[in-house]
């Protein structure tokens, strides 16, 4: 919701005002905003977070952001909404359980700060049910908010250096949704995050990031009663397109 347009504060206010009519999930820039609000990260030169941090209603906006989920599974349609993806080694129930653990930390101010202090980092890249504490939480955060490509072997290790189109990635990597062992196969998932992937769809996944940040278009999909193959989409030109 933030850091990808000219009015991050206005975007937060708008979505927040919709109440139960809007469902959103946290992405990497939303978490970066929370870290900046704690003084743990300085907004970069190209960031648009300062307008949120300096807003008169900053405290309310930040608490609202911190209360949002990392993963949403719609009980009526079975569509799953996530920012970047679901680690291929997880089924939906595992993903939901791991998301709830992170969300519980973010919703309590002191625990939130402690998590945000150690959130950044690319490790652990491999899932292990024995992971504990912040390593377990960091794996979940990276999977839900940063993941694009994973190792093609059975361990499906997370990899973060490849952020271009999947066709340009090394041969030992595959997009997370194409991993042969993906345990959420058959369950429709909609995600964004990967502008270089663009708007594409598979039998059980729908990618919506069509590069609005690069002055391309914003892609909207109507999911009611639809599958990833049949969902109607609209492309709204972004400023500069």
Tokens of 168: 């340009």
> Quick one: three-class SS letters along 33-78?
HHHHHCCCCCCCCCCCCHHHHCCCCHHHHHHHHHCCCCEEECCCCC
The pLDDT profile of the chain, 241 residues, written as one tens digit per residue, is 999 888 999 999 999 999 999 999 999 999 999 999 999 999 988 889 999 999 999 999 999 999 999 999 999 888 999 999 999 999 999 999 999 999 999 999 999 999 999 999 999 999 999 999 999 999 999 999 999 999 999 999 999 999 999 999 999 999 999 999 999 999 999 999 999 999 999 999 999 999 998 889 999 999 999 999 999 999 999 986 4
Residue 184 buriedness (CB in 10 A; 0-12 / 13-18 / 19+): buried
What is the C-alpha to C-alpha distance for residues 6 and 213, in angstroms, rounded to an integer?
A: 10
Tokens of 172: 């030992």
Q: Determine the CATH number of domain 69-110+120-237.
A: 3.60.21.10
Write down the domain spans for the chain. Answer: 1-68, 69-110+120-237
What is the C-alpha to C-alpha distance for residues 114 and 184, in angstroms, rounded to an integer?
A: 31
**Residues, the chain, total?**
241
């Amino acid at each position: 919701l933030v850091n990808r347009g000219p009015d991050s504060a206005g975007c937060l206010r708008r979505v927040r005002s919709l109440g139960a009519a809007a469902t959103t999930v946290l992405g990497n820039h939303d978490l970066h905003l929370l870290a900046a609000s704690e003084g743990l990260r300085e907004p970069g030169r190209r960031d648009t977070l300062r307008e949120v941090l300096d807003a008169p209603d900053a405290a309310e906006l930040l608490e609202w952001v911190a209360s949002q989920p990392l993963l949403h599974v719609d009980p009526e349609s079975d569509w799953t909404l996530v920012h970047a993806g679901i680690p291929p080694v997880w089924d939906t129930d595992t993903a939901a359980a791991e998301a709830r653990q992170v969300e519980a930390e973010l919703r309590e101010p002191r625990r939130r700060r402690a998590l945000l202090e150690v959130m950044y980092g690319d490790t652990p890249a491999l899932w292990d049910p024995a992971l504990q504490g912040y390593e377990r939480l960091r794996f979940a955060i990276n999977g839900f908010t940063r993941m694009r490509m994973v190792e093609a072997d059975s361990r499906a290790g997370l990899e973060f250096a490849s952020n271009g189109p999947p066709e340009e990635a090394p041969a030992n990597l595959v997009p997370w949704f194409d991993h042969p062992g993906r345990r959420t196969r058959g369950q429709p998932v909609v995600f964004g995050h990967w502008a270089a992937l663009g708007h594409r769809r598979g039998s059980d996944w729908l990618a919506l990031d069509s590069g609005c940040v690069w002055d391309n278009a914003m892609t909207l999909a109507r999911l009611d009663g639809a599958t990833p193959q049949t969902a109607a989409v609209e492309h709204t030109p972004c400023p500069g397109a």
